[in-house]
Amino acid sequence: MSDEGQKPKYAAVVWEGDSREILHAFPEDVRQNLGFQLWQLQQGERPSDYRPLSSIGTGVFELRDQDERAWYRVVYLSRIKDVIHVLHSFEKKSREMPRKDFEKARQRLKAVKARLAEEKKHEEGG
């Protein structure tokens, strides 16, 4: 018997709003580091620099990187049905998450949850 079925499936990444475009505007080395951490998540591995953001919602985390100019963040909803939802990407100059970025991540989380609930309803024939 083969153990092929035992391997975790490679997760898809779904980008909410302009999160991908913002990430693409980050400096090259930061983009590569954050891209690698997203790839680790897709493989079912733990990224090297992340932390939970329970203030935004359950299952929400941020990937972190920085350079001499700023801190860079990618906020995502952990894997649900082999999908990682990137809620928001942003750059910040101080330790606190700017209120507008916090709110944007919360709004996008709300939209993703509504979409998932709608999909579940359709799957159940509702």
Q: Give the model confidence (pLDDT) of 63-120 as tens digits.
A: 999 999 999 999 999 988 899 999 999 999 988 899 999 999 999 999 999 999 998 8
In a domain, 3, yes or no: no
pLDDT at residue number 1: 43
In a domain, 42, yes or no: yes
Bridge partner residues of 23 (DSSP): none
Instruction: Say how many domains are in the chain.
Output: 1
In a domain, 1, yes or no: no
Domain containing 106 — which CATH number? 3.30.2310.20
Q: Give the model confidence (pLDDT) of 29-48 as tens digits.
A: 999 999 999 999 999 999 98
Q: Give the model confidence (pLDDT) of 49-60 as tens digits.
A: 999 999 999 999
| Lookup: tokens for 36 | 């690698």
In a domain, 119, yes or no: yes
Q: Which domain holds residue 54?
A: 9-123
Quote the pTM value. Answer: 0.90
